[in-house]
Structures are given as structure tokens and as C-alpha cells.
Structure 1
Amino acid sequence: MALLTTTSAQAHSGSSTPPPPGIQIPSLTHGQMAVIARYRGDILALAQAQTVTDPTFRRLYNHGNLQFTYCLWGLMPGSLGDEESPFNECSHAYLATAKALLTYMATMSSAAHEAKALISAIDADMVRSGASWILCQYSGEAFSTGAVVEPRWREMVFHLPSLAVVLAMIAAMMTAAWSIFGARRARAV
């Protein structure tokens, strides 16, 4: 409930204002986003295997994880494919960061070989799926490690798949709480 009432200080509203200070992260198309999502685990596995890092690497890695958390770990329905989803813009942000992290790892001597092989695999997958041609309203939006893109919390009530998930989570938590605390009260009586 706290997430629903949080007011969003949208860092990226699709306006023409420049991104905030930090490492600039290039945008990606809606189609590229779907392909990067399939490879995000491989990108993070390669990043986690790095023992020698630098501040740029750590900022990209940490920012991507923070963005992923703000996007509720990618669990909201439609966050990747539905442009109307309140989670679509923040999904663009964490996946663009994953792509930027992979691109950066390609410049690191310890990760260059594996990163370039992964880039080739992703590139081939993007060509096969025609990913660069699938656009949406956030496809041209650049991001920055200097700002976190929050979901559009207030719009969740108008996006039925997101609202259904939130209501189901609330019902599950209430049921769990009732079974834990209700059972204790019944035994105490």
C-alpha cells in the first residue's frame, strides 16, 4: 500500500529535458528491450564474475539493480510488452542499463571476450526478431545513473493487469496474516 501512495518524482517524463548528471545510458527500442530481457541473466552472471571492477562498472551494475527493484523485479504483467503499463518506462530504464553494462564490460580486459560473444548473440537475436523496428513512446528516451525512473504508481488503478496483481498480493498477505495471527488467537482461547 505504501508503494501505491508514494508520489512519483518522475525522473524521465518523455520531455526534451536532458537527463540528470551521472553516467548517460543510451535508449533502446521496445523490441530491443524484449531481447535484452531474455539475456539479462547472462549479463548479470558475467558482471558478477568480475573480480576487478571500477567506479563506472559499479555505478552501472548498482543502478541496474536499483531500477529492477523499483520495477518490482519485472514481475508486473505487461511491463515489457504493454506500452500502457505503469511499469513500462522503468523496464526500459533497467534493461537499457543492462545493455550499457554489457557494452562497458566489452571494454574491460577481464570480461571483453565473454562480453563480445554475448553482444554477438544478442545482436543476432535482435536481427532475427526485427527488434530495432518495434518502437514505443519510451524508445528514444535516454537514461542516467543520476536518476531512478519510478513506475507511474497512480496509473496502476487504470491498468487492470497491474491492479489485479496488486489486489492478489494484498489478498495473499491478508490471508497469510489471518492464518498466522488468527491461529494463535484460536489456540489462546
Structure 2
Amino acid sequence: MKNVLRAFCFVLALLAAGGAFAHSRSGEGSHDGLPVPEISHGEMTVISDYRSRIMDLASTAADTNEPFRRVLNYAEIQYSYCLWGRIPGSVTDEESPFNECAHAYLAATKAVLLAMRGMPQETMAAGKIASAVDVDMVRRGLSLVTCRFSGEGFNTADVVRPRWSEIPLHPASMVSLTGFAAILAAGVFVLRRLLRVQSSE
């Protein structure tokens, strides 16, 4: 139940931040961080399928450096801002208010994978994942698929938030967030009831 309450508070914080910065990035105009190369729409579709494997390998990487850790941290931060990729269409639908932030965390994920190909202990495992990604892209015909965010590079000092003001105009996002909010509200209600019962005993 504590996890439900924490998730609820986190989403509320994101919504509050999103309302204040509906059309901007946190570091817009600031590029003091590290550049993260762009990712095409086709690439992100496949990288999203391999994200867990890439991040699991990165979390156990031995020979890391500061740039690698910063890009890895950026990938994790962006993933949470994008509500952990749970909104339908966030990766595949370029009209989704979550598509740009999905580009950001998947571009960082791709950068992490490519960096690990140059690490002595991770190069073999990273190479296998990269080869599988390449094969999947060709098999699914996604190599040349692009969208309006495909040429957009990112920066670790520049957090990309969902376009909150566009959510009411995107049915899939609206339905998902409404359902998510209802589940969290129910969880908080149950938690409060349990706490009341425990305090009365």
C-alpha cells in the first residue's frame, strides 16, 4: 500500500510540474549536459522491446565512467517522466503527448547500448543485443520509418516532459490516465481504511 501512495504522490508531482511547463523542457536553452544523439521512429519501436535487457546489462556494468553513468541516469529519469512507457501509443503514435519524451528515454537507452559495445566486459552481451535489434528492424521493415521527432537530439541537462495540455485531445492517453488515477485513488482509499482499522485496535 505504501508503494501505491508513493506512486500516487509521484504522479501528482508530475502533473503539477507538467501544468507549469506544458510546452517546455526543464533545461530549454541550456546544454551544459551531455548530448544524446537522435533516434528514428523505427529504431525506438524496436529499442523499446529490448529496453529491459539493455538496462539490466547497464546496471551491472563494471567498467563505467561518468559520461556513461550520466546518460544512464538520464534514461531512467526520462523513463519515469514518461510514466514508465505505460501509456498506450507513447512509442508508436507520433501524435501522442508522450511520444517526444519516449524518444528521449529511448534515445538515451540506445546511447547506453552503443557505449557498452566499447566496454571490455560488456561488449559481447551488448553486441548480441545490438545485432538482435538490427535484425528485428530489417525483419519488421522499420529502418526508414521516421516521424516529426526523428531528427531531434537530446541533452542530459534537458528533461523532456509529456505535453500535458494535449492529453485531452488524445483519447488513448486520456483514457489511460483516467483509469490510472482511478486505480491510485482506490488504492489510497483502501490504505486509509486499513490505517483507520489499525489505529482503532
CA distances 1:9-48 after superposition (whole Å, capped 9, x unpaired): 6239xxxx98723221111111111100011111112112
Among 15, 20, 25, the residue aligned to 2:31: 20
The answer to whether the Cα contact below 8 Å between 2:14 and 2:81 also exists between their aligned partners in 1 is no
Q: Which residue is equivalent to 1:56?
A: 67
Give 1:96's aligned amino acid: A
Separation (CA, whole Å) in 2 of partners of 1:137 and 1:117: 30
Give 2:80's aligned amino acid: T
Separation (CA, whole Å) in 2 of partners of 1:102 and 1:50: 11
Report how many aligned residue pairs link the two structures: 183
| Structure 1 residue 74: Cα displacement | 0.4
| Structure 1 residue 92: Cα displacement | 0.5
The answer to whether the Cα contact below 8 Å between 1:19 and 1:142 also exists between their aligned partners in 2 is no
TM-score (norm. length: structure 1): 0.86
Q: Which residue is equivalent to 2:52?
A: 41
The answer to whether the Cα contact below 8 Å between 1:25 and 1:142 also exists between their aligned partners in 2 is yes
CA distances 1:73-122 after superposition (whole Å, capped 9, x unpaired): 00011101111111000000100101001111111112112212221111
Are 1:11 and 2:16 matched, yes or no? Answer: no
Separation (CA, whole Å) in 1 of partners of 2:150 and 2:30: 15
| Structure 1 residue 2: Cα displacement | 4.2
Among 58, 63, 87, the residue aligned to 2:98: 87
Gap change, CA 1:69 and 1:118, over 3 Å in 2: same
1:55-134 alignment runs, 5 A limit:
55-134=66-145
Separation (CA, whole Å) in 1 of partners of 2:101 and 2:166: 14
| Structure 1 residue 182: Cα displacement | 5.4
| Structure 1 residue 72: Cα displacement | 0.5
The answer to whether the Cα contact below 8 Å between 1:67 and 1:94 also exists between their aligned partners in 2 is yes
Give 2:49's aligned amino acid: R
Gap change, CA 1:129 and 1:4, over 3 Å in 2: same
Gap change, CA 1:57 and 1:2, over 3 Å in 2: closer
Q: Secondary structure at the match of 2:143?
A: helix
TM-score (norm. length: structure 2): 0.81
Gap change, CA 1:111 and 1:50, over 3 Å in 2: same
Name stretches of at least 5 consecutive residues in structure 2 with no aligned partner: 1-11
Q: Secondary structure at the match of 1:132?
A: coil
CA distances 1:122-173 after superposition (whole Å, capped 9, x unpaired): 1111111121221111011011112111111111121111111222222223
Name stretches of at least 5 consecutive residues in structure 1 with no aligned partner: none
The answer to whether the Cα contact below 8 Å between 1:5 and 1:153 also exists between their aligned partners in 2 is no
Q: Which residue is equivalent to 1:167?
A: 178
